[in-house]
Amino acid sequence: MQKNNDQEALKRQTMGKGMAIGMVMFIPFGVILWLLLDNPGMLGVGPALGISIGIAIGEAMYKKEVSGK
């Protein structure tokens, strides 16, 4: 039971790190779209892309951590 809780905690931690990395990388993308298109609604595109790509990054980090490579 303890091992399962540790795995879940590790997964939450790596997913959080991945989402943070994705947000930092893609928020400027939303700002650039906002400025280029002169549409403040495009600001939301950056965080949305950042979260979705960040989840993929976090999943890859988790798999790498679990496999030990």
Number of other residues whose CB lies within 10 A of the CB of residue 29: 16
The whole-number pLDDT of residue 63 equals 93
The whole-number pLDDT of residue 52 equals 93
C-alpha span between 45 and 32 (Å, rounded) = 10
The whole-number pLDDT of residue 67 equals 87
CA angle 48, 25, 19 (to 5 degrees): 60
The whole-number pLDDT of residue 69 equals 63
pLDDT in single tens digits along all 69 residues of the chain: 567 888 899 999 999 999 999 999 999 999 999 999 999 999 899 999 999 999 999 999 999 988 876
Domain ranges of the chain: 17-67
